[in-house]
Structure 1
């Protein structure tokens, strides 16, 4: 964590940031957040992340007492104060202090600056394993702070040498706990269309691919895919070479995956100048 954050309407020392213990964010797990990276002192794809954060606040009935311009000014000040050449910004809006301890109220906005570590090079070169989990994330199009099930289930991942889970229900795949999911079949990039968070990295990946289908993806399709990968802000693209005990394709990161990864790195460089 970097030394300065935004809380209580001002830039303060991060160690002094506090939240009331009766805030809905704690007693009900109700709140929203978003996370974006800073590259060469420039927040990457900031407008897209602000679009999603502002929309999430509206959809969850949480007042956001700052305009887009004000949020950008705060982020710029935090960039300067923390010397944020590289790293991540985490915006959190809590559920607030509710009179009935249940209904959404006026919450508290935090913006934290963080150091960021990418997955190891080995994971990019060899791929990762996902474990199937029968689950659909509630209000999946909103980036809420409710990760209780996946945090609890993460102890299982560690025991089985997996990177994350792959949510599925009634034979259809949705997403991973913190990432969007893609498969490649016969050169076509395919990704689920519903019960998912509309990831910002996902958005750009779809623009970089040559042939795309956005539709339902079955569990069996995923197992029979030529390639698979997940995408997120903190991973970019991670090849998936195993789902449960089933090997995907030839068990190695595929050419379509690696091509999109390389194109995304170019896009990132262009947007950080």
Structure 2
């Protein structure tokens, strides 16, 4: 965590940020957040992240008493004060202090600046393992702060040498716990269409790919894919070479995945350098 954050309507030392113990964000795990990267002191895809943050606030009935211009100004101030060349910005809106300790109320907005550690280069070169899990994330189109299941279950991943999980229900895949999921079969790229967060990295990967099928994908299809990969803000694009004990394709990152990763890196440079 970097030295300065935004809380109580102003930029303050991060160590002084606080939340009321009866806030729904604390006692019920109810709140929203979003997270984006800074590249060369520039917030990457900021408008898209703000679009999602405002939409999440509206869908969760949480008042957000700041304009887009005001949030952009705060974010720029935080980048400068924290000298955040390549890092992350986390926006959090809590559920508020509710009279009945249950219904959404007026929450508290925090914006934090963070250091960012990417996955090891070896994971991009060799690919990662996912563990299948029968589950659908609640209100999946909203980026809520409720990660209780995945935080608890993450100890299982570590024991199994996995990077993350792959959610599915009735044989149909949705997403990973913090990433979107794609498969490649016979050169065609596909990604799930329902019970998923509309990821910003997902959006730009789809644009870079040119043609992607957005449709239901079965777990069996994923196991039989030529390639698979996940996308997220912090991982960008990570090849998936194993699901449970099943090897995907050749067991190595495929050409389509690696080409898209290279195109995304070029896009970053075009936008931020």
Scaled to the shorter chain, the TM-score interval is over 0.9
Q: Distance in 1 between matches of 2:20 and 2:74?
A: 23
Q: For each residue in 1:206-251, what CA deviation from the matched residue of structure 2 results, as whole angstroms up to 9, or x when unmatched?
A: 0111431000000100000000000000000000000000000000
Please report how far the alpha carbon of residue 271 of structure 1 lies from its aligned counterpart in structure 2 after TM superposition.
Answer: 1.1
Residue equivalent to 1:247: 247
Q: For each residue in 1:63-114, what CA deviation from the matched residue of structure 2 results, as whole angstroms up to 9, or x when unmatched?
A: 0010000000000110111011110000000000000000000000000000
Q: Distance in 1 between matches of 2:40 and 2:257?
A: 26
Q: For each residue in 1:17-54, what CA deviation from the matched residue of structure 2 results, as whole angstroms up to 9, or x when unmatched?
A: 00001100011110000000000110000000000000
Q: Distance in 2 between matches of 1:86 and 1:137?
A: 30
Residue equivalent to 2:136: 136
Tell me the TM-score normalized by structure 1. 0.99
- Residue 175 of structure 1: SS of its match in structure 2? coil
Q: Distance in 2 between matches of 1:122 and 1:190?
A: 25
Residue equivalent to 1:155: 155
Residue equivalent to 1:268: 268
Q: Which deviates more, 219-228 or 206-215?
A: 206-215
- Residue 32 of structure 1: SS of its match in structure 2? strand
- Does residue 174 (structure 1) correspond to residue 180 (structure 2)? The answer is no
Residue equivalent to 1:256: 256
**Contact 1:187-1:211 within 8 A present in 2 as well:** no
Please report how far the alpha carbon of residue 163 of structure 1 lies from its aligned counterpart in structure 2 after TM superposition.
Answer: 0.2
- Residue 146 of structure 1: SS of its match in structure 2? coil
Q: Distance in 2 between matches of 1:162 and 1:101?
A: 38
- Residue 217 of structure 1: SS of its match in structure 2? coil
Q: Distance in 1 between matches of 2:63 and 2:105?
A: 8
Residue equivalent to 1:232: 232
Residue equivalent to 2:28: 28
Residue equivalent to 2:207: 207
Q: Distance in 1 between matches of 2:263 and 2:41?
A: 21
Residue equivalent to 1:183: 183
- Tell me the matched-pair count: 273
Runs (4 or more) in structure 1 with deviation over 3 Å come to: none
Q: Distance in 2 between matches of 1:204 and 1:50?
A: 15
Q: For each residue in 1:139-171, what CA deviation from the matched residue of structure 2 results, as whole angstroms up to 9, or x when unmatched?
A: 000000000000000000000000000000001
Residue equivalent to 1:217: 217
Q: Distance in 2 between matches of 1:133 and 1:71?
A: 37
- Does residue 55 (structure 1) correspond to residue 42 (structure 2)? The answer is no
Q: Which deviates more, 204-213 or 57-66?
A: 204-213
- Residue 145 of structure 1: SS of its match in structure 2? coil
Residue equivalent to 2:18: 18
Q: Distance in 2 between matches of 1:69 and 1:210?
A: 32
**Contact 1:184-1:226 within 8 A present in 2 as well:** yes
Please report how far the alpha carbon of residue 6 of structure 1 lies from its aligned counterpart in structure 2 after TM superposition.
Answer: 0.2
Residue equivalent to 1:85: 85
Tell me the TM-score normalized by structure 2. 0.99
- Does residue 123 (structure 1) correspond to residue 126 (structure 2)? The answer is no
